[in-house]
Structure 1
Amino acid sequence: MKNRSDASDQLVVLQKKLAGFGEYSLRKTYYPELQQSLEDLRESEAFLKNIVDNIPAMVFVKDAVELRYVAFNKAGEELLGYSREELLGKNDRDLFPEVQAAFFTGKDREVLARGDLLEIPEETIKTRSGDDRILRVRKIPLFDNEGKARYLLGIAEDITDRKRLEEQLLQSQKMEAIGQLAGGVAHDFNNILMVIMGYGNMLKMDLGPDSPHKEKLEQIIKASERAAQLTRSLLTFSRKQVMNPQSANLNDVVKQVRHFLERIIGEDIQLKSVLAPEELKVVVDSGQIEQVLVNLATNARDAMPKGGMLTLETGVMDVDESFVQANGYGKPGRYALISVTDTGTGMDEKTRIRIFEPFFTTKEVGRGTGLGMAIVYGIVKQHHGFVNVYSEPGIGTTFRIYIPVNSGEFVAGGESVTTKPPEGGSESILVAEDDASVRNLVLEVLTGYGYTVISAENGLDAVDKFRANRDSIRLILMDIIMPRMNGKEAYREIRRIDADVKILYTSGYTLDTIQSRDVLDEGAELVMKPIQPLELLRKVRELLDRQ
């Protein structure tokens, strides 16, 4: 065993050898190499940090023991709203709500226990500003040389905007599917309703005022009118319903419907109106906007079973590009705004995002169809506007409806005129209709008012009948879509015989179906089924008298 003196002697010898190199020789031989290695290391570290900071996703690292953040990239700072200094050394419970923090921590422990990559398709995280963002997250453990997990690496992609677009696309597809269904049944259903309503009204005119059957007949007519309204509602929220837009002051529309709403909501709910001082010039179908307000008021009433406050408020809002980007809908421009606010039970987030879905309802079976809010959505969209909803459980709900302001010259809608009884006539009318029940109804209505009717069951038959009676026929009443030859083709052939003959088209199909088939000439007169007998008579007389 060597003693301490031997060791001292060896140290002295080593020192002498090193001294032989000299300080200059050491610095010349080793220092530049060490300096270059340090510089390369610094450049490599900066390069890797630059890469991580420019990844368009949140990248973070936690220690495997306490799950505290030890690294965070720039995208993570921007997403969460915290600086790197505020994040490092913290764990999830220091930053996020308890429910979210518990979920994150549970997934972290699962990853470390598995020792493998874990993908989380969706998780919600609350930012510093209070917004909830939806993330798609991948987590994987990082091991040391001994195979022990030392850190946890996470990469999180913000998919909030993508989810919103997917929801909007899904909603649009649902609307389109329901629209296809509604459009497909509308034609046959409207023909059936026209027969029921037509004969019902004819019987009503024949009955005396004291007839014991009058009330029963009125119930039949009302039921058929409700069925017709249901068809229109189906077409409305699928945005296939024909509109009658006119210039209007939105304040006047709200005032007009207010009295009706008071009867709907009941005495235990207070109705308050706060109208903008200036005119809100819009181009709308006032009847449909009233339908929107009625549906929203009905929804508010059901949300306030113990009473409350319903507030209608109007105003003007300028929507800019930042609003559109933040919300994912709308177009920049100036909008008239209607807000409908209740103090009811409110909705949770899951209900709120589904509120405009067709047939979605939170009401008991038999109390709601699930169409009310879908109709609101469809009508507003048809007016080139948009609607959003804000709600908190236990506080209430606010619907905001945005309708584009009319920048052109404002022309107020005309005042209502008392409807006059229709006048009859003695002219000959060619009626071309492929549905026998509708054809017979129209024949009875017209002949009952003195007209001579020549019937045809399709377009080709109509051409033949007109050719045989060209000198007497003054008007053609023709369905647009018929077998063998449609209305447009038949009228083209008839005009070769007589270019001046007048025509009135009818159809039970939706307007977009008619337009997609290109079966209607531009500017042609069209009435949509089901049409009441008196309305049909007035339109026929109007065309016959037109010069």
Structure 2
Amino acid sequence: MQQPAATVAPPPAGSPGLAGAWGALARSRSVRLLLAIELVVVLAVVGQLWSTRRQVLEAEQRDIGALAGAMAAQADATLEAAAAALGTTRDELARGLLQPGAPGADALLRAHIAGLPQFLALGVADADGRPVASSRGTHGARAPLAGRDFFVAARDGTPGALHLSLPYVARAEDPAAVSVAMDWRDADGRFRGVVMLEADPDFLDRAFTTLSPSADTRMAIYRRDLGLVADGPGDNTRAWAQDDAAHGLWNDPQRGQAREVRLPGGEVRLVSARALARAPLLLVVSRNRAAALAPWTRQAWLVGGFAGSALLVTLLMGLRNAREQARRIASEAALAAGQARMLRAFQAAQEGAWEWNPATGQAYLSPRMKELLGLARDAEIGDETGATALLHPDDIEPLRSAFLDHVQGLSGPFDRVFRVRTPDGGWRHVRTRGLSTTGPDGPMLSGTATDVSEELRAREERQRLEEQLGRARRMEALGALAGGVAHDFNNILAAVIGYGELARDGAAPGSAAQCQLDQVLLAGQRGKALVERILAFSRGAPRAHQPLRLQPLVDEVLKLLASSLPAGTTLASRLQAPDAVVRGDATAVFEAVMNLCTNGLQAMPQGGTLSVELSRVELAHERQLFEGRLAPGAYACLVVQDQGTGIAEQVLPHLFEPFFTTRSADATGGTHRGTGLGLAVVHGVVVDLGGAIDLQTRCGEGTRFELYLPWSDEAVAEDPAGAHAGVVPLGDGEALLVVDDEPALVELATELLAGLGYEPFGVDSSAEALRRFQAEPERFALLLTDEVMPGLSGTALAEAVHTIRPELPVVLVSGWGGPQFEQRAARAGISVTLAKPLTRDELAQAVARALRG
């Protein structure tokens, strides 16, 4: 294959040769003198322009401050006149000289406002906000004013103080207006209503257009709550208002001085603020800094452009002589720089170069290529035989065939990965890419190679993590499905067990009916235990989390197993963590350990040894396990290892799924199969405790499970066993609010609670329960609620009632609470959580515990 002739590109402007030439020029005395003079000129021009800019800004700030002072004085005068008129009217009302609704009352108001042309009307409203007198003479048609901000402020504020409203529209046909109000009280100080002056929204800023020095100067008047009372003359459309800039001006001791303020949008304004003396108002005058500096900016551009042009011409003339010299130096260095870059690139990439002549078998290998092939850097290589000495036998012929196919044009670009034996007996993966060219002796292959062992290992690790993520997502979906099914089944069991207990109590002692009902209750309890195992996997059941000692619990499991070991099976334990404490539910942890050990025993049908170990493990770095990831910290590590048949690779992705089992029917043709819940329960309990699971297994060599549970430093509370055994606490007529979306369960709960001495009120809707509680919040002593309900859930209902009565005890009953159930219950302030289905004794104990704190 004929190659195109090589061409030499012109040297880039930033090449080392050109940079060196410019550096030599910059070091010459004449150029340095020229640059120094130009620098002095530039600094002088910039300094003068900056001084002029500062003078312009100071003058503008003085103008804005003077304008703000003038507008504040005018506004204070207007408000003083308003205060005088309102005060006079207020005193006449208090002394009975002005009787609203009496003949002549409106005429007297018109006389009071006659000297105030800036106000539209003077009116009086009673304590309910109804207009009762007005200088307009039409006061009955207006809507009550009790909800207006100025009315509320006058009623609740300091007597005799002025209160301004925001612009509002009283009637659809009326224009926007602002009210200046003062309270009206009788001789005993009781609030009787308000006296108010009505004005156009711009009554305080009408003269701003006349006094404003420029069209872009703006003004706004704010109340203490930053309500915008006025934004300058006009239609009050709030086309511009510096609300955000006014936040920090109220409490600023230097607010009277003009300063620069940057608004959230990036605009910079010159701002001066004045607090009005007659009312709690803040008057703000501002102008855009860029507009104020516009004349200076035009002058600066003109001066800067002229100076810059002169300096640029001077500089170009001084540098003109360096151009040819810089190009020559750069051309000489370009080739050497390119060669050096290529050498550095090969060294940085750790790639080897090779050539091979298929016709003669001759090969060339660079030193790095020899290293990749497991040879010494100075090894003599004459032909391909020496080059392939350490290649994997299975890769030699496929590699040779790929070479030949590429040379003959039967395949595309050459790209292969092969294995090379390493000194430690392992295999290194090398990727080589090449291209066929035509040489004097015929086709020639040449290319590069690099070590891709780490890349392949990273790819395998990524694939493993993706598989683990897939398992986690699949199990999460299965958990939600199992939890939902268990929730519905729990509601059925709750009715069966509850009404079964009631029916048994009504049956004659020792009768056939009582015996039959005992069997019904026994079956219900078995169903409850099965549902609890399902919920242990879905991790949505109500479960108490408290510190517990792990080693005594494991020891108890081993004692139970030791009494019924299959023939030929032995049990070996090594428990070395007597102070191991974890935070969880003791019953759930016991069941998880029992299931894991039972699973190991069943994996050894021909007998063997089941080893159980418990120890403390400290992790300094994050660790990825078969199922889950561990953060650095202390863990209790429980190891259960069997000598059984091991676990097949195709089973591993489904190992912790519920109802998945590899146990088949027995040899007698029976149907006794595993439920597939054992390892699912183990997985659910471990994840619920915040731990992770590691697994090592090989077919025919047994399985090793490692459970890592977070170590807790909390103290374990001593449980006074039997303190209340057999005692069923009774109520004392307390009113209880009971809510469940299943009407049958509501009826059952109210019947059970009534028999225990309480006064239950049952509803089958959480929304109806909330309405009933809002109507009589002090009536109920406790709320008993289900969790999963349409509309408001149980935890949401608890949060709602706690906003009204934070101390109300709440008992949350649920068959399945969904993900993060315990966290939601804790945030809602739940007193007690219980799992469905409940017995009467469990319900009695829970209600009594919640009522007594």
Do the two structures share a fold, i.e. TM-score over 0.5?
A: yes
Equivalent of 1:392 in 687, 691, 698: 698
CA contact (8 A) 1:480 1:520 kept: no
What amino acid does structure 2 have at the position aligned with 1:115?
A: S
Equivalent of 2:707 in 383, 401, 418: 401
* Structure 1, unpaired ranges of 5+: 1-35
Name the SS for the 1:379 alignment partner: helix
By how many angstroms is 1:210 displaced? 4.2
Structure 1 residues 413 and 386, CA gap change in structure 2 (3 angstroms): farther
What amino acid does structure 1 have at the position aligned with 2:701?
A: I
By how many angstroms is 1:178 displaced? 1.9
- Could you say which residue in structure 1 is the equivalent of 2:60? none
- Could you say which residue in structure 2 is the equivalent of 1:26? none
CA contact (8 A) 1:117 1:138 kept: no
Alignment map for 1:459-498 (pairs within 5 Å): 459-462=766-769, 473-483=780-790
CA contact (8 A) 1:92 1:105 kept: no
Alignment map for 1:31-110 (pairs within 5 Å): 46-47=343-344, 49-53=346-350, 102=394, 109=401
By how many angstroms is 1:213 displaced? 5.5
| Pairing 1:504–2:811 present | yes
Mapped to 2, the partners of 1:213 and 1:86 lie a distance apart of 97
By how many angstroms is 1:111 displaced? 7.6
**Most deviating of 532-541 and 355-364:** 355-364
> Could you say what the CA RMSD is over the residues aligned between the two structures, in angstroms?
4.8
| Pairing 1:116–2:412 present | yes
Q: TM-score, normalised by structure 2?
A: 0.49
Equivalent of 2:573 in 241, 252, 273: 273
Equivalent of 2:465 in 165, 169, 174: 165
Equivalent of 2:752 in 428, 432, 445: 445
CA contact (8 A) 1:247 1:410 kept: yes
- Could you say which residue in structure 1 is the equivalent of 2:479? 179
CA contact (8 A) 1:352 1:391 kept: no
Alignment map for 1:47-446 (pairs within 5 Å): 47=344, 49-53=346-350, 102=394, 109=401, 113=405, 115-116=411-412, 142-145=435-438, 146-147=442-443, 156=452, 157-158=455-456, 159-207=459-507, 210-212=510-512, 217-262=517-562, 265-276=565-576, 278-321=578-621, 329-352=629-652, 355-357=655-657, 360-364=660-664, 367-406=673-712, 408-411=713-716, 413-414=718-719, 416-417=721-722, 419-427=725-733, 428-446=735-753
Mapped to 2, the partners of 1:230 and 1:69 lie a distance apart of 72
Alignment map for 1:10-49 (pairs within 5 Å): 46-47=343-344, 49=346
**Aligned length in residues:** 494
CA contact (8 A) 1:475 1:502 kept: yes
Name the SS for the 1:321 alignment partner: coil
Structure 1 residues 469 and 163, CA gap change in structure 2 (3 angstroms): closer
**Most deviating of 318-327 and 268-277:** 318-327
What amino acid does structure 2 have at the position aligned with 1:475?
A: L
- Could you say which residue in structure 2 is the equivalent of 1:27? none
Name the SS for the 2:819 alignment partner: helix
Q: Which has the higher contact order (CA 8 A, sep 6+)?
A: 1
Mapped to 1, the partners of 2:740 and 2:691 lie a distance apart of 38
CA contact (8 A) 2:368 2:377 kept: no
CA contact (8 A) 1:64 1:152 kept: no
Name the SS for the 2:614 alignment partner: strand
CA contact (8 A) 1:480 1:519 kept: no
By how many angstroms is 1:172 displaced? 2.1
CA contact (8 A) 1:111 1:139 kept: no
Mapped to 2, the partners of 1:45 and 1:469 lie a distance apart of 86
Structure 1 residues 239 and 345, CA gap change in structure 2 (3 angstroms): same
Structure 1 residues 523 and 103, CA gap change in structure 2 (3 angstroms): farther
By how many angstroms is 1:507 displaced? 3.1
CA contact (8 A) 2:542 2:834 kept: no
Kindly provide the CA deviation profile for residues 90-130 of structure 1, in whole angstroms up to 9, marking residues without a partner as x.
8999576xxxx64796587468545235889x999998778
CA contact (8 A) 2:646 2:702 kept: yes
Identity %: 28
Structure 1 residues 341 and 239, CA gap change in structure 2 (3 angstroms): same
* Structure 2, unpaired ranges of 5+: 1-332, 666-670
Mapped to 2, the partners of 1:108 and 1:449 lie a distance apart of 89
Name the SS for the 1:414 alignment partner: coil
CA contact (8 A) 1:240 1:512 kept: yes
By how many angstroms is 1:308 displaced? 0.7
Name the SS for the 2:582 alignment partner: strand
By how many angstroms is 1:347 displaced? 3.1
Kindly provide the CA deviation profile for residues 331-362 of structure 1, in whole angstroms up to 9, marking residues without a partner as x.
11222211111111123555456534555543
Name the SS for the 2:629 alignment partner: coil
Mapped to 1, the partners of 2:680 and 2:445 lie a distance apart of 52
CA contact (8 A) 1:246 1:413 kept: no
Mapped to 2, the partners of 1:62 and 1:232 lie a distance apart of 69
Kindly provide the CA deviation profile for residues 54-110 of structure 1, in whole angstroms up to 9, marking residues without a partner as x.
7xxxx89797989x9967969x97xx9x787799978999576xxxx6479658746
Mapped to 2, the partners of 1:526 and 1:475 lie a distance apart of 13
By how many angstroms is 1:260 displaced? 2.6
What amino acid does structure 1 have at the position aligned with 2:469?
A: L
By how many angstroms is 1:309 displaced? 0.6
Mapped to 2, the partners of 1:390 and 1:71 lie a distance apart of 43
CA contact (8 A) 1:445 1:533 kept: yes
What amino acid does structure 1 have at the position aligned with 2:412?
A: D
Mapped to 2, the partners of 1:200 and 1:452 lie a distance apart of 22
CA contact (8 A) 2:550 2:580 kept: yes
CA contact (8 A) 2:413 2:435 kept: no
What amino acid does structure 2 have at the position aligned with 1:384?
A: G
Greater helix proportion? 1
Larger Rg over CA atoms: 2
Mapped to 1, the partners of 2:597 and 2:739 lie a distance apart of 44
